[in-house]
Amino acid sequence: MFVPELLGLPERKGKGMKHKIGCVCVLLLLLGAVRLACQSDAQIQAQDKAKIEAAINAQDPSQQPAEPTLKRDPIEAIRNFEPAADEEYQLGKGDEITVDFAGRPEMLAKLIVGPDGRISLPLAGDVVLAGLTRPEAAKAIETALANYYTNLSVQVTVTKYTANRVLLLGAVDHPGMIAFDGTPTLLEVLARGGVEAGPNKSTGEGLHVDQVPERCAIYRGTEQVLWVELRSMMQSGNAMADMRLRRDDVVYVPSSSERYISVLGEVQHPGAIPLAFNSTLASILAQAGGVTDHAGMNPHIQIVDPASGTSRVLSLKDVLTPGKSLEITLKPGEIIYVPKSGFYKGTYVFERLSPLLSIATIAAYAGAL
């Protein structure tokens, strides 16, 4: 029986073969459409089932993936934080220098880098030297005098490292600025500051392991902090306990009974803040002088717990809401970071903090914040 008869269509004479082929094509198209419709229904049902299962799993804590954590070797973090042993010294404000001109002894000059980072030269005027190494400073002087002298060869020597200072704060006998002629180290800073260690206080000539505080913080600028488990490192004989520091670092030694929290980023006074039993996030920010204008109208504040590798983010608006602020539990050792406006989600914050153990944990959560 032909296809037209199956469909109940009258067979046309004279165009038999062409008509039969056309009918077959129509039938195949109809069968394909029916099959496609069946498959679409099956796919939709499968997708709906998957969505339902996902919704159920979302409500079931046992089905949720474990919160990611990032654990880093603390010694590796110190190595990343420590300046290189061969790092060249950069001139700073107040440094006393000698400028020697080869073959021209009459031009020998002893100068002091001014508060604006400049020195004054005859003919050439002011030349900025702050932030330059000695060879770079010599080149800058040669360039400044090139219009007045030919074939100058300049050598710059630092005769007094006034700008090479580290600030020591906290539970020490002699807090304040400490100047160094060479590269400052952590144990030297603590020895010269006289750490408070009960009856066995430091004499300034060196430190015994029992005199060393359990831990201390090193602040570098407003963006970086590294907590060092100093006593345990010395007990294990780790040489990294006497890590090299950089000019203008701030070393903070908490007392044994003090609970503290670090505040960094866009606040007026970044650093360690004592954590009282009634402290709130709003009160901690107030003790740090409040947020700066660079933070924007409603910055997203990050709270990092280095011990557990977890991070929380909330807006300043929530912090200033009395009810919500009281619900935010803070723990000793946590780090509060206030980023610049528009950068709370990403690379700006993490690129500037990534060398640090205490801050590096944030990077694991960058995609989730």
Closest CA to 261 of 313, 197, 305: 305
Q: Model's pTM, two decimal places?
A: 0.58
From 258, 277, 304, give the residue that closes a domain.
Answer: 258
What dihedral angle (degrees, nearest 10) is formed by the CA atoms of 295, 299, 250, 90? -50
What is the distance between the terminal CA atoms of the chain, rounded to a whole angstrom?
A: 70
From 258, 273, 291, give the residue that closes a domain.
Answer: 258
Same-domain pairing of 229 and 151: no
Domain range enclosing 192: 164-258
Q: How many domains does the chain have?
A: 3
Total residue count of the chain as it appears in this document? 369
H helical segments located in the chain? 3-6, 16-59, 74-81, 134-144, 186-193, 230-235, 281-287, 316-319, 322-327, 347-353, 357-360
Lookup: tokens for 146: 């090139």
3-class secondary structure, 15:
coil
Question: Residue 315 is part of a domain; what is its CATH number?
Answer: 3.10.560.10
- Tens digit of pLDDT per residue, the chain (369 long)? 444 454 454 554 445 565 556 665 656 656 655 565 555 444 545 554 454 445 434 444 444 444 444 445 677 888 888 888 888 999 999 999 999 999 999 999 999 999 999 999 999 999 999 999 999 999 999 999 999 998 899 999 999 999 999 999 988 888 899 999 888 999 999 999 887 543 344 444 555 666 678 888 999 988 888 888 888 888 888 888 889 999 999 999 987 667 888 899 899 999 888 888 788 888 899 999 999 988 888 888 888 887 677 888 888 888 887 766 556 788 888 889 999 876 544 433 443 444 344 333 333 333 333
Same-domain pairing of 279 and 369: yes
Same-domain pairing of 277 and 328: yes
In a domain, 77, yes or no: no
Closest CA to 112 of 102, 121, 103, 123: 121
In a domain, 243, yes or no: yes
Residue in the block written with tokens 């070797």: 73
142 neighbors 152 (Cβ within 8 angstroms) = yes
Lookup: tokens for 220: 């570098």
In a domain, 58, yes or no: no
From 201, 231, 258, give the residue that closes a domain.
Answer: 258
Write the CB contacts of 262 (distance below 8 Å, at least 6 apart in sequence). 217, 225, 271, 272, 273, 334, 335, 336, 358
Same-domain pairing of 280 and 343: yes
97 bridge partner residues: 111, 158
Lookup: tokens for 323: 């009810």
Residue 148 and residue 152: Cα distance in Å, rounded? Answer: 10
In a domain, 89, yes or no: no
